[in-house]
A = this chain, B = another copy of it.
Amino acid sequence: MYNKDMEKLGKQASAIRTLFEYGKAKKKEIGDDKVYDFSIGNPSVASPSIVNSTLIKLINEKDSTKLHGYTSASGDDNTKKAIEEYLNKTYNADVCYKDIYMTCGAAASLAITFNAILNKDEEVIVFAPFFPEYKVFVEKAGGIIDIVKSDKDFQIDFDDLNKHINKNTKIVIINSPNNPTGVIYTEENIIKLAKLLEEKAKLYNHPIYLVSDEPYRELIYTDTLYPFITRYYKNSIVCYSFSKSLSLPGERIGYILLSSDMDNKENVFNAVRGAGRSLGYVCAPALFQQMVPYCLGYTSDLNEYKKNLKDLKEMLEEIGYEIIKPEGAFYMFVKALEEDANGFSENAKKFNLLLVPSDSFGVKGYVRIAYCVSNNQIKASKTAFENLYKFYQEEK
């Protein structure tokens, strides 16, 4: 027979996807503008115009076999050099283009990284709430997910982390700005994390890799400094995607970056190459690789997300909802009005509000609101949020 684990995985729709499909059906029934769908983290803002103008320029000017031909497996050198320059200039990151491996987006970056690093039954620490696909990728690579709590501000809970790290811990994943909370880890916490991991690596006599999943790196709406991880920890691996910054989620373009001072860096890079090869990744899409050097530093219009965040936050707080301080990405984490977030999400559906229960992300009692929607939708949803709130007031 076919592989039953894979079949189960393919059949299993995520809570997010299920809610999204419910929304599509409901919109058909009662009209697009009557359903307030906050379920999906799909960029709602157009790509910056330089993306399309660069694509057209490349198509018109470059020789076809060069434009659409294979790049080397780790990516086009021009692209990698431009990324090196951009990261060093922007974050003082001290990285080298030779340590970059271009990928088909963040999911590919993560899957390749886990397969490159993990041996059977090694452990990967994630902080709840976390992006549920981490578990899928880690388990396929033979590893085991080990869930550590966050503190009350959804920063790292160091006490719990300290208890969890053990001799089988091989990777710690951070995701900042965070999906689903929108929280950015402070520099202070990154420094503390790096110190702890160095101590533990020494204690257990093997490297512990810090994998930073950062597709939302440029989606920051405060003056918070973004602590670029290679500056703080030598065994760090950046998994990046242009999906969110350039609104290109369908085009599958991103990269893996190893810190310059990584232990056995050349071997780890070869392991990344080997993992990419064995999973069927030949190269990242060539046209989009060649687009990258022209578009680094550009983003979709973040003011649209920023305005959505401001309007939504004011509106919800005015009604009485409790919100985790959102600083980046396009997600807001809101306390459910009952203990059971699934029940709360179900009740929200009665008012045509689609809010993802936090259980999908490994914590209880919250919902995720993806505010990558039109500003009109936010304004139009006010009455529904009010009625949902009243519903719970009356329940008491």
Contact = CB atoms under 8 A, between A and B. Distances in A.
A10 B251 contact: no
Interface stretch (A26-34, A222-230, A267-275, A351-359): A267-275
A3 B42 contact: no
Given A9-B278, A111-B278, A119-B3, A285 B68 contact: no
Given A42-B69, A280-B107, A285-B252, A207 B1 contact: yes
B108 A271 contact: no
Contacts of A283: 250, 252
A45 B63 CA distance: 10
A96 to B, nearest CB: 18
Contacts of A247: 64-65, 68
Interface string A64-104: 11011111000000000000000000000000000000001
B2 A267 contact: yes
A4 to B, nearest CB: 8
Give chain A's interface secondary structure class: helix
A10 B252 contact: no
B250 A68 contact: yes
Interface string A305-343: 000000000000000000000000000000000000000
A203 interface: no
A136 interface: yes
Contacts of A12: 274
A277 B136 contact: yes
B3 A115 contact: yes
B70 A250 contact: yes
Interface residues of A, number: 82
A206 B3 CA distance: 13
B287 A107 contact: no
Contact of A270 (B10, B43, B279): B10
Contact of A10 (B11, B45, B56, B271): B271
A16 to B, nearest CB: 12
A107 B252 CA distance: 16
Contact of A252 (B104, B139, B206): B104
Contact of A6 (B63, B116, B137): B116
Contact of A116 (B3, B46, B287): B3
A285 B251 contact: yes
B274 A6 contact: yes
A19 to B, nearest CB: 15
A278 B68 contact: no
A362 interface: no
A115 B6 contact: yes
Nearest to A12: B274
Contacts of A111: 278-280
Contacts of A137: 278, 280
Contacts of A285: 104, 250-252, 285, 288
A140 interface: yes
A108 B280 contact: yes
Given A64-B52, A250-B71, A250-B287, A280 B2 contact: no
A8 B274 contact: yes
Those 5 A-B pairs whose CB atoms lie nearest each other, nearest first: A250-B286, A111-B280, A10-B274, A9-B274, A10-B273
14 contacts: A1-B264, A2-B116, A3-B119, A9-B275, A9-B277, A10-B276, A44-B65, A55-B59, A67-B250, A68-B250, A104-B282, A108-B280, A249-B282, A252-B282
